[in-house]
Chain A
Amino acid sequence: MLDRIAAVMVKEVRQLARDRLTFGMIVGIPLMQMLLFGYAINFDLRGLRAAVVDEAGTSLSRAWIADLEASGVVEFLPPSPGVDDLRRRIDAGEVSVGVFVPPDFERRVLDRTRAPAQLLVDGGEPMVDVVARSLASVPLPRRDGAYGRPVPTLEVRTEYNPERRTAVQIVPALIGVILNMTMVIFTAAAIVRERERGNLELLITTPVRSGELMAGKLLPYVFIGLLQTSLVLAVGSLLFDVPVNGSLLDLYLAALLFIAATLTLGLVISTLARTQFQAFQLAFFTMLPSILLSGFMFPFDGMPPAAQWIAQVLPLTHFVELARGIVLRGAPLADLGGPAAKLVVFLVIALAIATLRFRKRLD
């Protein structure tokens, strides 16, 4: 039995090594995604174009506006003469954020029931909206004198990622996204290809059992998955200084569990698809909700219950939780029993479905 599994493995690795495109994708997909998410996609927007209308013109308002600019979130273009002009500039896309300081700014500061100033934001760009709102937390400048000490606003401390760098949030979860993408597509395609090319018709009539066939085909991808994990970690640490706060062993164990889950998902897809193209389509079909709903890009808590339910079914959701826990919070795997158990449940169910559907027969 082991000899037959080994035979299938050797064959699979040989074919893989000759398939330049697939082989290149094993390394290419992680590298491309790392660079994309590490450099191009930045959740931590800075230097938004802004303009101000300062109708108060007091020293307090000027000091506050200077503090806003000093935060680095906005960069002020020449001021506008009035609110109407400010609106026009936002409409025209010249600026994304407008700050309106009303003439009675100083009185409003003392009167706790009214906001001292207004922020006009281009709501069309989701990230701008979120980031600009953070301006609202810039405190009024300290000034001794008639008004006393200003009210201290809420202080936010970002734990585990004090500089709030996107790479730190992204890299651990990106391991999952990359594994999900490559493992599902490669295995589904590798199995469907044999059906498409007619190899399966021959294989079925040999003494190889379906379990041996599956094991031999999937095992090489386990190593490839671990290789990709290492690649992402290495690039993350070299280029983006992402530390691994928890145990590396725990991280690899979690990755192994996730690899097993995604390989099985690929196996299920291979039993549904007749052609490689269908396999790609199905893999893509599972990929999109995984990226959007797993908490990789958007916070899980803000989603409607239906989306949260779907997210629970996706293995990536649980791996993102595991990876962030281990890499950022330094939590031991033993403390992350919840998501780990859910991955195991997914694995068992998917394996059962695949075994039931993967028959050594043509019809």
Chain B
Amino acid sequence: MNDVPAIVARGLTRRFGALTAVDHVDLSVPRAGIYGFLGPNGSGKSTTLRMLCGLLEPSDGDVEVLGYRMPGEAESLRRKLGYMTQRFSLWDDLTVEENLEFLARIHGLRAAERRARIGELEAEYDLAPLASQRAGTMSGGQRQRLALAAATLHRPELLLLDEPTSAVDPQSRRDFWESLFRLAVAGTTILVSTHYMDEAERCHRLAILAEGRLVAEGAPRQLMRDIAAAVVELEADDVVAARAALQGDGAILSVAQLGTRLHALLSLDTPEPAARVRARLAAAGVAAEVHAVPASLEDVFVAATGFGSLSSSAHAAH
């Protein structure tokens, strides 16, 4: 049973008028693990998740979720699925307790069972002190804990989380991911969309989406190892000059700033990438420390999205 993937999609496509929001995406999400969707704004993460849970009808392609064909068998999937929407979608004018109570009844939990489960969730997600507070008055992190509690209330086999940690501080994000790991260890399949690299790196597997297309897929380590570029890191006092010096070389596919450092991606067939970068900088009279480094996930992302960030990073630097 466990070797059958939780989600299989072939040629999944969704069009909104002339716009193709999701373009022939093939997916295979294994069971009991955290699978990430990494992509910038508008890359089709939410649209894909909505098709997976039957909220939107695909324009094209086949999807099977936990063995149910979507969207036809969506109703049968409901009991096994937990979905956390990108936008907070619980009821602002109900308290934490009332929100959970309502969803528990909708999921058919009996009174005693309900009490026990809600108590458990309030303890797990640190909601007990907030039990009688209205959801609309809670902070971003508190709402997100409530939303996760609500999504896991009926112990679903599959959790779809759409950018669960946007608007949440780093400590809360770490706590949140701890909870996700506990759920995954307990056998839940989790699909989470994000645009944070550090979060993507924690996933067991990762799909990178750009403009509706799946541009890379695999375990984060493997993606970093298999990156289709050589990575050179340079530290220069004058970052702008360094960047300018690297412009116009066909072998240098992109230059992106990571903190105080620059990462240059060079085509794989470049014989001595670090030496080449060093030579160009020397020719331009820019002092810098240069060495070849293993790829980070950000490099993978830049490479997978067609090195398109060369121009945008340049803009950002000005």
Contact = CB atoms under 8 A, between A and B. Distances in A.
B219 interface: no
B117 to A, nearest CB: 15
Contacts, number: 73
A202 to B, nearest CB: 4
A202 B105 contact: no
A32 interface: no
Contacts of B150: 202
B89 A202 contact: yes
B173 interface: no
B56 A361 contact: yes
Contact of A362 (B56, B88, B93, B102): B56
Among A14, A201, A202, A209, which residue has the most Cβ atoms of chain B within 10 A? A202
A18 B93 CA distance: 7
B13 to A, nearest CB: 14
Interface residues of B, number: 29
A197 B91 CA distance: 9
B166 interface: no
Contacts of B89: 197-199, 201-202
Given A11-B91, A11-B98, A361-B55, A202 B83 contact: yes
B225 to A, nearest CB: 37
Among A18, A197, A205, A363, which residue has the most Cβ atoms of chain B within 10 A? A205
Contacts of B57: 361, 363
A7 B105 contact: yes
Interface in A331-363: 361-363
Contacts of B174: none
Sorting the interface of chain A by its residue count into under 10, 10 to 19, 20 to 34 or 35 or more gives 20 to 34
A362 B51 CA distance: 10
Contacts of B56: 361-363
Contact of A3 (B54, B83, B108): B108
B55 A206 contact: no
Interface in A176-220: 197-199, 201-209
Contact of B71 (A7, A15, A199, A361): A361
Given A14-B98, A207-B79, A361-B56, A202 B90 contact: yes
Interface in B24-50: 50
Contacts of A14: 93-94, 98
Nearest to B83: A205
A10 interface: yes
B18 interface: no
Contact of B105 (A4, A15, A198): A4
B81 A6 contact: no
Contacts of B90: 199, 202
B54 A206 contact: no
B87 interface: yes
Given A197-B92, A204-B55, 12 more contacts: A4-B106, A7-B102, A11-B91, A11-B94, A15-B93, A199-B90, A201-B55, A201-B89, A205-B78, A205-B81, A206-B103, A207-B75
Interface of A: 3-4, 6-8, 10-11, 14-15, 18-19, 197-199, 201-209, 361-363
- 10 closest A-B pairs by CB: A7-B105, A202-B89, A207-B78, A198-B89, A205-B83, A198-B87, A11-B102, A362-B55, A208-B106, A206-B106
